[in-house]
Chain A
Amino acid sequence: MCFLCLFVATCSAVSRRALIILLLLAISFGCKSGAGQRVSLPARVTRVVSLAPNLTEIVFAVGAGDKLVGRTSYCDYPPEAKAVAEIGDTLHPSLERIIALKPQVVLISTSSQLEVFTRQLQNQNIAVFVTDPHDLEDVFRSIQQVGEMLGQKEQADQLVTKLRERTTAVEQAVKGKQPVRVFYQVSSEPLYTAGHDAFVTDLMRRAGAASVTANVPGAWPKYSNESALAARPEAIILPTGGSMGSVNSDVTEALRQSPAALQGRVYKINDDYLTRPGPRAIDGLEAMARALHPDAFK
């Protein structure tokens, strides 16, 4: 999507307008791919490139970090990842650099909208593994698939088991408690939130929250200030402090008189936990649950 946006910005004024309308229609339909789709996999994989931070984290988490030969500039976790060669950012990876690293498979997240890119890689006989987890189950599936693909099946299964345990523990702790009405603020100006298709919406549900925008179509809709105000959320989650730095650390103006703001129930959570569908998502889940239902975790 973002790639298209930038492409659109470079077009001439007239065709730009037409593309904008198409773009917006596309946004409103959202993207609906599920967990990983495999494309022509080699027997034994020793060289892999990751084109998304969550995928990099998954590779290291299943113990295959030594097989990672390329990563994006945004892939900063775990710290060992920083030693791996960079091949550009998530939106503009360099095809040449990737080819030069001679990987056998490239891991791509469809939220980066790299379909054209995918085709180019396949033309170079490089296998492409595409995944876009929409919920936690998709994440677990991705971990297992990546683990199996990189010869770390056992470790992957163990990891997933542990993550499932932690998830179940959280869900049990908040079971029976009244879900807290939450507003998830992606950015304050303009106001963006998490919609029905966003990964974090599933996390919030499991953490004992009722996202006031859970039924809004799309993944990251631009939201009306009025509706945010009228929603009167009891808590506000601000993903910030991770890769985002200090951006988005203030509540948007329309919500400054909300019950959440007035009672101080504004929770800043590391945005990397909430925006990367990988093992650290459970950290995000736990952080949200603890913030929203502190009495359940004494």
Chain B
Amino acid sequence: MLEARDLTIAYDHRTAVADLTLSLKAGEITAIIGPNGAGKSTLLRALNGQIPKVAGVIMLDGQPLQRLNRRSISRHIAVVAQEAELRFPVTVLEFVLGGRFAWATNSGWGWETERDLEVANAVIEETELRDLSARLMNELSGGERQRALMARALATEAPILLLDEPTANLDLSHQATLLTLVRKRCDQHRSAALVVTHDINLAAQFANNITLMKQGRAVHSGTPQEVLTPEILQEIFEVRVLVDAHPITGGPRVTPIISA
């Protein structure tokens, strides 16, 4: 669905991403993990078409990303932001309806259709925001706001979801809720998701694929079992780790060893 081949992105004198090849498949969650400055966020922005000058190709459903216009990209790719700028009062419903913009028939003008309302209300239901849909966004708690951001991204009905550290500001219960939503989407609607995260253990539970990045390169790629080994993790993070099997899920569980 979304593919990057030999992607290289250079800023000033730094190379943010180098010769990266990645492929997102329908129904799968891919996690991108790496130390700070590894180029994860840059990669995500490039996949969304936000960086115009790249070497290499990014293909969306077989078409080069550069050839597509903004609106059609938005119909295929949705970004779940980390936080929203809420300087003006807006209700949750209005906020979520913003996700329907890409489907508007007139650019910049027009009114929401019945379908738009249906979709918005459905995703509000899905993200358990029904009781809050008439409230103002800046009255919501952090977790509720994150769900609203998720709802807006889901409202675009885009089959590809890009999430940039979505659990960074969330408590445990909300972390679980969010990723469960993503998992459900991928399972039920055959969406593909790319999650940039620092939380290795969460990724181990939810991701089908993990790509480890270091200094702009995709150093290792594969299932959590394949790539979450002490050797690889030490190579990437330069830290000793203990990897054992999670007693309940059976998947890999990573614990850093911090010597006194």
Do A and B touch directly, given a CB cutoff of 8 Å in the complex? Answer: no
Q: Interface on B for A, CB 8 Å cutoff? A: none
Q: Interface on A for B, CB 8 Å cutoff? A: none
